[in-house]
Amino acid sequence: MSPEERFFALYKPEQGRLYRTAWAILGNEADAGDALQEATIRAYRAFGQLNGGAAAFPQWIRRILVNTCTQILRKRMRVIPVERPEDLRDELTTADLELALDGDVWDAVRSLDERYRAVVVLRFLNDMQLDDIATALDIPLGTVKSRLHTALKLLRSKLQGEESTRRGAV
Amino acid sequence: MRCEQVRVELHSYVSGDVSPTLAESIKTHLGECQGCTREADAVRTIGAAVARGIKAWVDEGECPPGLAEQIQSIIHPDRPKLSRLAVWVTTSSLITAVAAGLFLLLLGTRPDLNDQMLGLPLVGALANRLNPPDFVQGKISLGSTDSLSQLSGTVRTFNRTFEQHGLTVTVHRVQLTPSHTQVQFSVQGLQNVKLLTTSLFEFILYGPDGPLLLHGFSGDIRSDKIMFKAYFDPIKSGFPRKFSMWVMPKVKNESLTWELGKDRRAPPVGPQASVVSWNHDGQTANVTVLWPVEYAYRVGGWKATDGLGNTYPVKEGLHATGSGAMIQQLLIEVPDHVVPVWLTASWVEYYERGPWEIPLSD
């Protein structure tokens, strides 16, 4: 089996997940396609340096993809203007409503502003530590924490809002 | 510590990701503050749900076939590389995306259009290539995996399809809850889909006592199909009898033309679209056009000519939609000595077609 065949034998089962990972981080399919293409080329070039064999491949290429995506985000975020004040009502910070989270999480996540979505995805999809997210996005750790805090409030309000809308239909 | 300081740290705290000193301070605060304790529980719950939800969504992902082939062709030495234009599109995409995003931030919103679009994220625009409007009797097929299995008393899975006019509608799942009835279904065959709005689809779920009110839907546009979740009124007893869908396919084309570098606004017919910018790098003209969002789903057929009968390839680059407008990037392969360049767009009108009807009860 040639190196190319070995690479694709390992790569193809991961391709769908990688594509969606890029989509989740970057927020749209066009950029996800670009990022996946770039990450795949990087991975293919570095394939000979992979240690750990086939078992290590999924995590290895995912790391390359996430790095590629965060590079794109860093470039994007440099030109995004100042943080906007959050339009969150106080009552949404309470935990009075019981969440009914049986789906639609992705719909809620992708509707977030990019700064919040990126932090949420890197934390909850890629299980990155907050200081690693800060490094990857080139923002202070405190900003990561405040964005995550805001993002979780927004997600709760979106998911609870959706649920209460449905309840209102009864 | 003050509540607000504690709350910013709560995710780190519940993840065990704070220093022992800070953990002790937060613990002390939680022992005295019911609000923050409830908040900590909520942070834990939402974090777990979000992690589970996103991971599940990623795990079921498929790479679009065209992208997979493109990637393989780049790596495979015997296959053609990306064209110069494609590379240019790729490298310029970020700049354009940012520009489009910033531009849309500046646009006003249109409440009347918001009403037409249900609350879930707008994911793009509907299709403009369907079959001619002759009605063909559709056929219902029951897939081999159609089990009608009752999973929990409230969920039934299906694989029932209905095909006509080149579109295949498949109902995958119906879930009954006290608060709503959810139908998961897919539509295959719609081309060029960018935006899903209620003005383009009609979904009807027939309960035991008649049609149920649609409360909203979400759509996930994939390379080969669109996955929908539609939410209807709850059903107190029984099971839905039938799911039905209508779409509005194209029946005619209209068009408008700009002289690039001169005309900024479209003629006063049809959509009031504008050329926002146009520049040339010597090989390719990069044009940005702004459309009212109500036309976003049906604009296409871009053509560039020099008025002498020569036409030049136009590629659609990135697009971005807001509640009031869509911004579209176009890349025209035209030498910079060709002036003037006439850019023509066409849009389509729609009328109702359907229904795609799928029985749900035995």
Q: Is 90 exceeded by the pLDDT of residue B72? A: no
Which tops the pLDDT comparison, A47 or B298?
A: A47
Q: Is the pLDDT of residue A168 over 90?
A: no
- Distance (Å, whole) CA B216 – CA B230: 6
Return the pLDDT at B265. Answer: 65
Is A22:A62 a contact under the CB 8 Å cutoff?
Answer: no
What is residue B338's three-state secondary structure?
A: coil
Q: Searching chain A, which residue's CA lies closest to the CA of residue B95?
A: A76
CB contact under 8 A, B179 and A166: yes
Q: Count residue pairs from A and B with Cβ separation < 8 A.
A: 169
Q: Using one digit for the tens of pLDDT, what is the confidence trace for B237-262? A: 889 999 988 776 544 456 777 777 66
In the prediction, which pLDDT does A112 show? 86
Average pLDDT estimate for B151-155: 54
Distance CA B208, CA B211 (A): 8
Joined together, the tokens standing for residue A115 give: 């700064």
pLDDT in tens, A100-153: 444 478 888 888 888 889 999 999 998 888 988 988 888 888 888 888 998 998
Q: What is the mean pLDDT of residues B318-329?
A: 76
Choose among B199, B208, B205: nearest CA to B248.
Answer: B199
With 0-12 CB in 10 A as exposed, 13-18 as middle and 19+ as buried, what is B43? Answer: buried
Contacts of B120 in chain A (CB under 8 A): 104, 107, 111
Q: What is the pLDDT of residue B108?
A: 32
Where do we find the tokens 């807001």?
B322
Q: Which residues of chain A lie closer than 8 angstroms to B54, CB-CB? A: 24, 105-106, 109, 120-121, 124-125
Mark yes or no for CB contact A152/B120 under 8 Å: no
B309 to chain A, minimum CA–CA distance in Å? 33
Chain A CA closest to residue B182: A166
- Residues with Cβ within 8 Å of residue B31, at least 6 apart in sequence: none
Q: What number is the average pLDDT over the span B20-29?
A: 89
pLDDT tens per residue, range A63-95: 999 988 988 887 665 443 333 333 333 333 333
Lowest mean per-residue pLDDT among A162-166, B72-76, B153-157, B293-297: A162-166
Give the gap in angstroms from C-alpha A66 to the nearest C-alpha of chain B: 14
pLDDT in the model for residue A120:
94
CB-based contact B120 A107, cutoff 8 Å: yes
Please say whether the beta carbons of B125 and B193 come within 8 A. Answer: yes
**In this predicted complex, what is the ipTM?**
0.83
Contact criterion met (CB < 8 Å) for A76 and B98: yes
Q: Report chain B residues whose CB lies below 8 A from the CB of A34.
A: 90, 93
User: What does the pLDDT read at residue A100?
Assistant: 40
Strand, coil or helix: B326: strand
Q: With a CB-CB cutoff of 8 Å, which residues 120-139 of chain A face chain B?
A: 120-121, 123-125, 127, 129-130
The whole-number pLDDT of residue B101 equals 42
